[in-house]
Amino acid sequence: MSATDIVELSVRAAADAIAAGSLSSLELFDAYQARAAADRAAGEAGLNCFTWVAAKAPEDHGGAPLHGVPLAVKDLFCTEGVPSQSGSRILEGYEPPYTATVVSRLSEAGASLLGKTNQDEFAMGSSNENSAFGVVRNPWDRERVPGGSSGGSAAAVAAGLAPWALGTDTGGSIRQPAALCGIVGLKPTYGSVSRYGMIAFASSLDQAGPLTRDVGDAALLLRHMVGRDECDATSLEFPHEIESPTAERLDGVRLGVPEELTGEGIEQGVLEAFTATLDRARELGAEVQAVGLPHAPHALSAYYLIAPAEASSNLARFDGVRYGHRAPGASDLLDMYTRTRHDGFGAEVKRRIMLGTYALSSGYYDAYYGRAQRVRTKVADDFRGAFAEVDFIVTPTSPTVAFRLGERTGDPLAMYLSDFCTVPMSLAGIPAISIPCGLSEGLPVGLQIAGPAFSENRLLDVAHGLEQAIGFDGSAARV
């Protein structure tokens, strides 16, 4: 089997071929390692998806369920002895003494670490232009962004540099880049996947999830990620095993379309692809109806108070004392803190730390952070009410297709609006998946499907049924 043929295999097909003896795990790893290493060597002349690539395959996995399939991992997951920098100069070259629980679980299931993927610094961004290690480019059009903050993971999967990848989603950082790169991205129910070993951005929102080329692979990766972890007090025992999706029809499935997330601000081409997908869902037997999420338009404002406030607390640990960068030439401790953070943090991280610190300051806490938390409760209540009427909520994933590099870097508000459709689900802690549903201007459009907490199996089934009917071809993005 040629390297080109190998790269076109789904993970499930590759694992089956290894089990059958027609492909070896070493052949599979070498095919992807060569592609990932070439992109890494090219730097920003390539896609710049990776910050580190493994030199060789690990030892044989002895028939483990994932059969040594290579896995790309977002750079904010701690991996023992491997650079884990979260896209920031303040952690440049940092090699943790331990490995994140989710990475360990996947390794035990037989996944092989292929490399660490580029990202927006500390997961703060929607375009992957905030990384200290250079921008990531979209494989569909190298002059456009791949989305963020998991842009390196999404672009690597879309381009065939990795068969699948781990990302994290705080306000849309798996789903939005998945949409812009034409792949599948799933944010699981909050707490279903351990956060231990993830370099934190906003602890009440961060959640790890899969980025894959199809829904079946997303289910397979998720199956080995979920579960209670004693190292993470917020983690939960998943109530059932994640199953392989098989649905071909959507008979009796009730899909709700919220006007608040499908109207003003959505590009015409995105709306046309979304509407065509709703028609396809009806043909498969689904019932499509309007549903109300009255507080959803306020979710973005609440998010950009809650997330920066938690970031202000989480990033206080990066002070130049225990690990990471320490600025030279400081006259005293305060000067060392100041110089280290000035040199180590990028502009977007500084902006959010300042915003979060202000929101938590004396006299402003209740007016800003407290009020944002009350809005969060209202958003979650809206979803509970909606799920009494419908089974799933459907929206476009991103209001636009991939925008041009540099187009929004000078306008933070325009950048933040990229997450308008994804943030409400994050505030509510519910699962949501993005699948490609068509093209607009030759660029991918994503469909977002959200369900109640722990509805991942049904969610994956619905996504699989639509995926089969849509028949999206992502091969144009392969490099």
What distance in Å separates the CA atoms of residue 221 and residue 463, rounded to the nearest whole number? 16
Give pLDDT tens digits for 53-81. 999 887 767 679 999 999 999 999 999 99
Is 201 a domain residue?
yes
Count the Cβ atoms, other than its own, within 10 Å of residue 385: 13
Q: Confidence class of residue 153 from pLDDT cuts 50, 70 and 90?
A: very high
Q: What percent of the chain has pLDDT over 90?
A: 94
Q: What is the mean pLDDT of the chain?
A: 96
Is 405 a domain residue?
no
What distance in Å separates the CA atoms of residue 451 and residue 439, rounded to the nearest whole number? 25
Kindly report the three-state secondary structure assignment for every residue of 81-98.
CECCCCCCHHHCCCCCCC
Q: Is 2 exposed, middle or buried (0-12, 13-18, 19+ CB in 10 A)?
A: exposed
The whole-number pLDDT of residue 62 equals: 65
pTM for the full predicted model: 0.97
Is 207 a domain residue?
yes
At 287, which helix (H) or strand (E)? strand 287-291
Catalytic residues: 74, 149, 173
pLDDT at 211 over 90: yes
The whole-number pLDDT of residue 60 equals: 67
Q: Is 229 exposed, middle or buried (0-12, 13-18, 19+ CB in 10 A)?
A: buried
Q: What sign has the CA pseudo-torsion 467, 472, 477, 479?
A: positive
Structural domain boundaries, residue 25: 3-252+455-477
Token pair, residue 356, equals 């979060």
Q: Confidence class of residue 43 from pLDDT cuts 50, 70 and 90?
A: confident
Mean per-residue pLDDT, 273-278: 98
The whole-number pLDDT of residue 323 equals: 86
What distance in Å separates the CA atoms of residue 207 and residue 204, rounded to the nearest whole number? 9
Give pLDDT tens digits for 380-409. 999 999 999 999 999 999 999 999 999 999
43 vs 199, which has greater pLDDT? 199
Is 184 a domain residue?
yes
Is 430 a domain residue?
no
The whole-number pLDDT of residue 247 equals: 96
Q: What is the CATH number of the domain that holds 46?
A: 3.90.1300.10
The whole-number pLDDT of residue 32 equals: 97
Domain tally for the chain?
1
Give pLDDT tens digits for 300-346. 999 999 999 999 999 999 999 988 899 999 999 999 999 999 999 99
Q: What percent of the chain has pLDDT over 70?
A: 100
**Strands (DSSP E) along 8-125, which ranges?**
50-53, 70-74, 112-117
Q: Confidence class of residue 362 from pLDDT cuts 50, 70 and 90?
A: confident
CA–CA–CA angle 160, 445, 10 (5° rounding): 30
Give pLDDT tens digits for 425-478. 999 999 999 999 999 999 999 999 999 999 999 999 999 999 999 999 999 999
Cβ contacts of 455 within 8 Å, gap of 6 or more:
189, 392, 431
**C-alpha distance from residue 474 to each of 178, 179, 187, 429 (Å):** 12, 12, 21, 30
Is 215 a domain residue?
yes
